[in-house]
């Protein structure tokens, strides 16, 4: 078994090496083809020829929107967990802050009755979630590991309990008639509505592309190098003069802003927000998506977020021996995670540095054994 897994690892590494050796123009052509594929994906004229990829028991456009939101969240959490090495178990709390900011300021059922347009509230939602990240990080980022994980977990639970019990946030009754993003077709019909999820998917896909370019540039800057040094050895980074607390706070703020943006997009699409949308399980799923795809690698986070969201929906409507597989989706998901952690702990598409670390550890175990 170990020989087979090692061969798979070597094949995977050779694919990655060939990709890195390919000319720059070829990589841009492949990347452009992938982007065009995903823009064309929600059209039935296209996906009906893709075999088992479309879902049969749920609206494929809606599934793709859900997948895109998970991908955006995974890219944001990857900054905190993958690049800065901070274990955040409450990331979905920032998503809730973004969604509730939009709901409170735009919905007619809000006590504020401000009725702002959706587009005007989105920057405010992103700013508030960023402030939330800084407010959470300032007193807690001197903690490490399990202690930081417990604090962030508590933050997400505080948001959920406040949403459930506060009369201002409406509990399970929630906020309705949240406005959609602006835009009309030539015949005067709105682009964004309740029935067709495809425009929302294209909107979130465009946002993901912009966010990925921004995060990529950030990780290649002085800030990104500081995050990696903190992740590898925080004490050594501090001794070398890196202001670790400041850069950890930046990672928290950047990740929170992306989470809040995802929440604002989600609230506009759903047209309704209540406390049941923000269960703790979602934070665990997003964290698992980052680890499954490859912590510390933007492509890995995208693949992990997309796979996790898609596979959960793909089980819907499938029966085996009279058993509805969708009811056991999290069991299958857990089994996949356990297998992954045994045979490929660095994730499907790992960061090269982290893959090398895991390789060295395997050698040490072999020598020690």
Helix (H, G, I), strand (E, B) or coil at 144: coil
* List of residues 6+ apart from 286 with CB closer than 8 A: 70, 73, 74, 77, 91, 92, 305
- Cα gap 99→305, rounded to integer Å: 19
Q: Would you give the distance in Å from CA 316 to the centre of its chain?
A: 22
350-362 pLDDT, tens per residue?
Answer: 777 666 666 666 6
Chain mean pLDDT for the chain:
85
pLDDT of residue 156: 84
* List of residues 6+ apart from 122 with CB closer than 8 A: 102, 261, 264, 265
pLDDT of residue 205: 95
pLDDT of residue 297: 87
pTM of the model: 0.90
pLDDT of residue 311: 84
- Which residue positions in the chain have pLDDT lower than 50? none
Helix (H, G, I), strand (E, B) or coil at 184: strand
Give the Cβ contact number of residue 228 at 10 Å: 17
Helix (H, G, I), strand (E, B) or coil at 31: helix
118-149 pLDDT, tens per residue?
Answer: 999 999 999 999 999 898 888 887 777 788 88
pLDDT of residue 55: 82
Sign of CA dihedral 365, 337, 201, 33: positive
Q: Would you give the distance in Å from CA 238 to the centre of its chain?
A: 29
């Amino acid at each position: 078994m170990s020989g087979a897994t090692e061969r798979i690892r070597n094949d995977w590494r050779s694919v990655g090496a060939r990709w890195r050796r390919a000319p720059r123009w070829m990589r841009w052509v492949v990347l452009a083809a992938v982007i065009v594929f995903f823009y064309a994906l929600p059209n039935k004229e296209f996906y009906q020829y893709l075999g088992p990829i479309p879902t049969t028991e749920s609206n494929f456009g809606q599934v793709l929107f859900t997948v895109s939101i998970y991908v955006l969240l995974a890219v944001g959490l990857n900054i905190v967990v993958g690049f800065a090495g901070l274990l955040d178990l409450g990331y979905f709390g920032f998503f809730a802050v973004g969604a509730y900011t939009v709901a409170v300021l735009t919905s007619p059922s809000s006590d504020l009755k401000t009725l702002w347009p959706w587009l005007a509230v989105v920057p405010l939602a992103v700013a508030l979630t960023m402030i939330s990240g800084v407010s959470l990080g300032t007193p807690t980022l001197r903690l490490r590991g399990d202690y930081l994980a417990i604090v962030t977990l508590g933050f997400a639970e505080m948001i959920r309990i406040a949403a459930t019990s506060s009369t201002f946030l409406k509990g399970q009754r929630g906020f309705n008639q949240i406005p959609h993003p602006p835009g009309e077709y030539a015949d005067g019909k709105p682009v964004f509505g309740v029935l067709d999820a495809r425009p929302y998917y294209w909107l979130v896909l465009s946002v993901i592309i912009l966010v990925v370019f921004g995060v990529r540039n950030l990780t290649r800057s002085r800030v990104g190098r500081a995050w990696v040094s903190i992740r590898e050895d925080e004490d050594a980074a501090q001794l070398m003069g890196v202001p670790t607390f400041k850069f950890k706070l930046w990672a928290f703020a950047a990740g929170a802003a992306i989470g809040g943006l995802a929440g604002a997009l989600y609230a506009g699409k759903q047209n309704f927000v209540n406390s049941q949308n923000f269960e703790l399980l979602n934070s665990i799923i997003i964290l698992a998506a980052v680890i499954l795809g490859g912590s510390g690698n933007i492509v890995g986070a995208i693949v992990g977020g997309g796979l996790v969201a898609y596979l959960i929906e793909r089980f819907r409507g499938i029966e085996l021996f009279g058993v509805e597989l969708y009811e056991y989706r999290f069991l299958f998901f857990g089994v996949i995670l356990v297998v992954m952690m045994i045979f490929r702990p660095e994730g499907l598409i790992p960061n090269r540095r982290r893959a090398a670390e895991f390789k060295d550890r395997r050698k040490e175990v072999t020598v020690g054994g």
